[in-house]
Amino acid sequence: MHQNLSRALVLAPVLALLAACGRQEAAPEPERAVRTLVLKAESAGMSHEYAAEVRARTESRLSFRVGGKILTRKVNVGDSVKPGQVLAQLDPQDLMLSQEAARAGVLAARTTRDQLGAEFKRFIELREQGFISAAELERRESAFKTAQAQLEQMKAQASAQTNQAGYAQLVADAAGVVTGVEAEPGMVVAAGTPVVRVAQDGPRDVVFSVPEDQLSAVQSYAAKPGALTARLWGADKSAAQPVSLREVPAAADPITRTFLLKADAGHLQAKLGQTATVTIEAPRQKQAIKLPLAAILQQQGQSTVWVLDPAQMMLKSQVVQVGGADGNEVLIAGGLNPGQEVVVAGVHVLKVGQRVKRYQEGSAAAAPSASAAKH
């Protein structure tokens, strides 16, 4: 036991010496070269772009005015239609039977009226001769007038039934293009059920959705001539045409919480359903700070930038308020002042308090730091 204790006492200093030799000092973190920009106030404009769709000013959902079974549908999506063109046909058998019954009722009422009219004439002669009383003559006159009224009623019913039979055909009431089909042959539809959608020829609208928080600004900017333009998807910006805001809904969509705005397409040569881009130009700001989009970093739901402390060459995070976009740059509404130096590239690999050096174009100064970062 004394031998084991002696060995432990001898080995302890040796192990401590080996452990001390195995520890190495941590290498200092290399300085990273960063590209920076000294902020300055300048004139800047702000524009908002919205995806839009070209629609007809008037789009009707046509339906039968009577119920029944659809026999045929004569148009498809994309077909052009003319006023009076038959679009679909119901089974007219029951309507034709009702029409015949109404016509028969007219004949019966006319016969009754003629019979009572002849009797009334004879009773007039009998009254003149004193064979009947005045009360009896009045009763005969009342029966004749009742028969006359019933005949007029049956005529009106027959006219209504004739119209009902004509409603078995669904016809276009204006020229346009079929944009949708909502019923197929063989279906039994009730009166008023949409069957075909037709976009009428005529003025076109550019329709786009605007978030709630931007509605008032869009209305204000659009009131200025030339501030609202539209161009077809894929077209150059020079092809944009001025449009005028025509309709603003009173309430937002309950699902998307956006307002569906309609602008008069004006001279925009577009087909129905084409995609367009609506651009709204805001007034230019004289004292504005702009940064490249790559300089903005999202952290915990906030927009931040890296500000360089030139005295210590260290970075600190600064929360900023973004006011809008100007091409590939963003307008800073608050959080920065002219003269500050901000990192504009590689912001995702930096951290607070990190020592950096300014990147110089064409120099190899950044090579060691890049190599060290890899290791």
> What pLDDT shows up at residue 370?
38
Do 290 and 280 fall into the same domain? Answer: no
- Beta-carbon neighbour count of residue 56 at 10 Å? 20
Do 323 and 256 fall into the same domain? Answer: no
If you average pLDDT over every residue of the chain, what do you get?
Answer: 83
* % pLDDT > 70, the chain: 85
> What pLDDT shows up at residue 129?
84
- CA–CA distance from 296 to each of 212, 271, 345 (Å)? 25, 39, 9
Is residue 73 assigned to a domain? no
Is residue 131 assigned to a domain? no
> What pLDDT shows up at residue 325?
67
Is residue 123 assigned to a domain? no
Lowest mean pLDDT among 228-232, 351-355, 367-371: 367-371
- Mean pLDDT comparison of 253-257, 280-284, 359-363, highest-scoring range: 253-257
pLDDT tens readout for residues 112-146:
999 999 988 988 888 888 888 888 888 988 999 99
> What pLDDT shows up at residue 362?
59
The pLDDT of 2-29, averaged and rounded, is 53
User: Does the pLDDT at position 5 exceed 50?
Assistant: no
Q: Which of 245, 263, 284 is the last residue of a domain?
A: 284
Q: Which of 267, 284, 301 is the last residue of a domain?
A: 284
> What pLDDT shows up at residue 202?
85
The pLDDT of 248-252, averaged and rounded, is 91
Three-state SS across the chain? CHHHHHHHHHHHHHHHHHHHHHCCCCCCCCCEEECEEECCCEEEEEEEEEEEEEEECCEEEEECCCCEEEEEECCCCCCEECCCCEEEEECCHHHHHHHHHHHHHHHHHHHHHHHHHHHHHHHHHHHHHCCCCHHHHHHHHHHHHHHHHHHHHHHHHHHHHHHHHHCCEEECCCCEEEEEECCCCCCEECCCCEEEEEEECCCEEEEEEEEHHHHHHHHHHHCCCCCEEEEECCCCHHHCEECEEEECCCCCCCCCCEEEEEEECCCCCCCCCCEEEEEEEEEEEEEEEEEEHHHCEEECCEEEEEEEECCCCEEEEEECEEEEEECCEEEEEECCCCCCEEECCCHHHCCCCCEEEECCCCCCCHHHHHHHHHC
Position 84 confidence tier, pLDDT thresholds 50, 70, 90: very high
User: Does the pLDDT at position 68 exceed 90?
Assistant: yes
The pLDDT of 315-344, averaged and rounded, is 82
| 230 bridge partner residues | 241, 278
User: Does the pLDDT at position 270 exceed 90?
Assistant: no
Do 315 and 265 fall into the same domain? Answer: no
Position 368 confidence tier, pLDDT thresholds 50, 70, 90: very low
Is residue 293 assigned to a domain? yes
Please give the residue range of the domain that contains residue 339: 32-45+286-374
Name which residue leads in pLDDT, 284 or 315.
315
> What pLDDT shows up at residue 171?
94
Position 156 confidence tier, pLDDT thresholds 50, 70, 90: very high
Is residue 238 assigned to a domain? yes
pLDDT tens readout for residues 173-223:
999 999 999 999 999 999 999 999 999 988 899 999 999 888 888 888 888
Is residue 37 assigned to a domain? yes
User: Does the pLDDT at position 371 exceed 50?
Assistant: no
> What pLDDT shows up at residue 27?
55
Indicate which CATH number applies to the domain containing 252: 2.40.30.170
Computed on alpha carbons and rounded to an integer, the radius of gyration of the chain in Å comes to 43
Do 343 and 294 fall into the same domain? Answer: yes
Is residue 243 assigned to a domain? yes
> What pLDDT shows up at residue 208?
94
Do 257 and 303 fall into the same domain? Answer: no
Q: Which of 284, 315, 336 is the last residue of a domain?
A: 284
Do 262 and 298 fall into the same domain? Answer: no
Indicate which CATH number applies to the domain containing 39: 2.40.420.20
Is residue 125 assigned to a domain? no
Position 286 confidence tier, pLDDT thresholds 50, 70, 90: low
Total domains in the chain come to 2
